[in-house]
Amino acid sequence: MVVAVEQVDQKLRWLFEGVDADPPSYDELANIRQRSQLLETTVDIDANEVVIRLTAAGEDVAAPDTGRVQAAGGRDHDDALLQIENELTALGFTVSVCTQDGSEKPNARATHPDRAETFAI
């Protein structure tokens, strides 16, 4: 999936609103992208913008780890979570998949910049 760098930067900076730290500057984010082996940036000539995507190594790191216990479900369960994450992300949500360890926890949590609550999935 290819995404405009500007969207990614805005989202990263928004995530800092919930913590006691200043968000990185746009220059700092650009520097991180240049040094990272997990991200690849290119110019989309048609859209006239810089876009970003995960490299193969980035895809491996970003793959959710739902856990190894029976409560974690199987491959179909993981595929369903990925589909839900993709759909919610397209609607502006940030989705975090939870590693299942046998304790009571949701499959994932989702937040949206326009809503104060965290949604359990």
Tens-place pLDDT, residues 58-89:
888 777 666 665 555 677 877 888 889 888 98
Domain containing residue 11: 1-63
Cα-based distances in Å from 43 to 40, 69, 88, 102 = 10, 43, 26, 45
- Going by pLDDT thresholds of 50, 70 and 90, the confidence category of residue 104 is confident
Same domain membership, residue 111 and residue 86: yes
Report the pLDDT value the prediction gives residue 70, as an integer from 0 to 100: 59
Report the pLDDT value the prediction gives residue 82, as an integer from 0 to 100: 84
Contacting residues for 16 by C-beta, under 8 A, at least 6 apart: 22, 23, 24
Residues forming a β-bridge with 46: none
Structural domain total, the chain: 2
Report the pLDDT value the prediction gives residue 73, as an integer from 0 to 100: 66
Same domain membership, residue 76 and residue 59: no
pTM: 0.59
pLDDT for residue 100 is more than 90: no
